[in-house]
Structure 1
Amino acid sequence: MKRIRYFFEAVLLYILFIFFKILPPATASNIGGWIGRTIGPKLAASRKARRHIKRALPDTSTQEQDNIIKGMWDNLGRVIAEYPHLEHISRTRTEIIDLGQLDQYIQDKATPILFIGGHLANWEVNGAATLTQLKHPIDLTFRAPNNPRVAKILDKARTLNGRLKAYPKSRDSGRLIMKTLKDAGSLGILIDQKYNEGIEVNFFDMPAMTNPIFVQLCQRYKCPLIPVRNERLDGCSFRLTSYPPLETFNEDQTPRAVEDVIKDAHQLLETWIKERPEQWMWLHHRWKD
């Protein structure tokens, strides 16, 4: 039964991709947003999102929670519809703001770079814009869907038909990730998902199991740890903002405590989410129930 279900899920996604691809990017995004905000709030998953919003943003009213949930589904619907247009959107509808000498780091071909971000706005634009606008190749990590057929369709889109490398999060991908940094390449990691084997660090003042690998890699390969924020501005227009690198070493060049670096990263994420809560994925099992 699972194989049959996976097959039909992949067929449905493929048909949607064809439909959205023949439309102009803005039209596709608008239709995807309409589908998302019309259907999403009625799904059982919205109850989980509301629980998370109540815990992370306890001062929000019921109406504000409703608006965040509706906006979240609108954003997710747009993300799906924008997959077939990622190259165009990342190249022509994305503004990049550099607050931390990103250009200098990119020009230094001898030093690897590790970018971190979260599931904000259309997070798939992050890597695509790095390639299409900055002409800087970047390897990506992602959590693969359970359906391998769906994973293959999404992977083709996020890598711009293979022009980027993307590694599913697993023990086996660790070797490839380390090779990227060892060879002075760039790597992008989204750090806002639960990781059962990680360490417990507060996120919105609640314990959250977090993968420390992004800090450990930076300290091992002595590469800058650059936070990148993605904001949806209007329809399918975006703004990427790169921030100054987080401090991963003390003044005496000894490694900072991993937990302290993660706290700094979480603080940035919290700020971004609070400013645009409807653009974050509240469906994640980020905290213990």
Structure 2
Amino acid sequence: MARKPKSPLAHFLSQAFKPIRQRIEGFATWSFCGLCGLFPVDKAGSAAAWFFYGLGRYVKASQTARRNIKKVYPHFNDAEIEAIVKGVWDNAGRLIAEYSNPQDFRGAEGDKRIEVVGLENFLQMRDDGKPGIIFTGHIGNWQAITHFATDHGLELTQLYRTANSPWTDREMLKRQLQCVPKVIRKGRNGSREIMKLLSQGGHLFILVDQKLNEGIEVPFLGRPAMTAPAIARMAIRYNCPVVPAWAERIHDSYFRVHFEKPIEFTPIGDINQDTYDFMVKVNQCLDRWVNQRPDLWFWLHNRWID
């Protein structure tokens, strides 16, 4: 159903109050992150998880999540669906606490909190002398991947989406740079920076499950979804390994990071078909992760075309 356009008055008021709303959002982000940083990460995470679900289960995004889950898992009953919604908000709250306590995921403390499956795949990418790409989705805590990589000799540059509010963006970018050495902002300039990075043998970290209104249509969890094809085109152009990875939350702020084998792919020379086929493989990885731990993926937006 198409969204009803705003009246001229509603549009005017929305634009007039936008700067105020953005400052409030920025202050709330700064305050909440700062508060979480005052306490041990597990205690802060548990409190934030309780708070997020306590409020989040009543907001519109939770209704969207329940509809999405029902579409993908039509055999799930209401209790099973609500358990996933609770897991989503639990994970979101803990994420904020973890962004606020990056020191707990580095060095000796990081070794306690992050275990790794597929270490050989990580080491191969780190040591092969080629450019490379690691991709993941909004599942678990994806920054556990960058913390581990940085601590073990692989400098990753993360593709970063600018927040709508410049005040929120300032705070989130500061937190982001505590998780990864460098970021590239999405956009035209970002595309040039990515090309430079890969041409110089660098390594890119990218989340590939964002909602889009453009891109190409590729199946995701059994339903058509508009999908950004950039990762496929970069892999084909630079002939570089693309490693799927995801950070499974075991309990509290402890993770099992899975580094999988690089995607096996042989181009046929048709750029459109090659791009589509590559993205099918990417989305199949996401399918597998979400099906394994649906409570850890962000179901809160309309990801699908239908």
The two structures share one fold, judged by TM-score above 0.5: yes
Could you tell me how far 1:18 is from its partner in structure 2? 1.6
Amino acid at match of 1:5: R
Counterpart of 1:174 in structure 2 is: 191
SS at match of 1:263: helix
Counterpart of 2:6 in structure 1 is: none
Counterpart of 1:283 in structure 2 is: 300
The structure-2 alpha-carbon separation of the partners of 1:37 and 1:9, relative to structure 1 and needing over 3 Å to count, comes to same
Counterpart of 1:145 in structure 2 is: 163
Counterpart of 2:43 in structure 1 is: 27
Counterpart of 2:124 in structure 1 is: 104
Question: What are the superposed Cα offsets for residues 146-197 of structure 1, whole Å, 9 maximum, x if unpaired?
Answer: 0111111111112118x61112322221011111111100001111112333
1:156 equivalenced with 2:171 (yes/no): no
Amino acid at match of 2:292: E
Q: CA RMSD in A?
A: 1.9
Amino acid at match of 1:83: Y
- TM-score by length of structure 2 reads 0.88
Tell me the distance in 2 between the aligned counterparts of 1:209 and 1:87. Answer: 36
Contact 1:218-1:248 at 8 Å conserved across structures? no
Could you tell me how far 1:143 is from its partner in structure 2? 2.2
Tell me the distance in 1 between the aligned counterparts of 2:234 and 2:279. Answer: 13
Contact 1:115-1:227 at 8 Å conserved across structures? yes
Question: Counterparts in 2 of 1:1-289, with a 5 A limit?
Answer: 1-90=17-106, 91-92=110-111, 93-98=113-118, 101-109=121-129, 111-132=130-151, 134-160=152-178, 164-250=181-267, 257-289=274-306
Tell me the distance in 1 between the aligned counterparts of 2:281 and 2:257. Answer: 19
Amino acid at match of 2:145: N
SS at match of 1:45: helix
- TM-score by length of structure 1 reads 0.93
Contact 2:99-2:176 at 8 Å conserved across structures? yes
Tell me the distance in 2 between the aligned counterparts of 1:253 and 1:172. Answer: 28
Could you tell me how far 1:60 is from its partner in structure 2? 1.1
The structure-2 alpha-carbon separation of the partners of 1:264 and 1:99, relative to structure 1 and needing over 3 Å to count, comes to farther
The structure-2 alpha-carbon separation of the partners of 1:199 and 1:253, relative to structure 1 and needing over 3 Å to count, comes to closer
* Count of paired positions: 285
Tell me the distance in 2 between the aligned counterparts of 1:55 and 1:142. Answer: 29
Tell me the distance in 1 between the aligned counterparts of 2:53 and 2:153. Answer: 35
Tell me the distance in 1 between the aligned counterparts of 2:131 and 2:159. Answer: 16
**Deviation above 6 Å: which 4+ runs of structure 1?**
252-256
Could you tell me how far 1:89 is from its partner in structure 2? 2.3
Could you tell me how far 1:95 is from its partner in structure 2? 1.4
Tell me the distance in 2 between the aligned counterparts of 1:229 and 1:123. Answer: 6
Tell me the distance in 2 between the aligned counterparts of 1:284 and 1:138. Answer: 28
SS at match of 1:238: strand
Counterpart of 2:11 in structure 1 is: none
Give aligned-pair identity as a percent: 33
Tell me the distance in 2 between the aligned counterparts of 1:4 and 1:170. Answer: 26
The structure-2 alpha-carbon separation of the partners of 1:172 and 1:284, relative to structure 1 and needing over 3 Å to count, comes to farther
Tell me the distance in 1 between the aligned counterparts of 2:187 and 2:265. Answer: 24
Gaps of 5+ in 1: none
Contact 1:247-1:261 at 8 Å conserved across structures? no
Counterpart of 2:8 in structure 1 is: none
Contact 1:100-1:243 at 8 Å conserved across structures? no
SS at match of 2:158: strand
Could you tell me how far 1:253 is from its partner in structure 2? 9.1
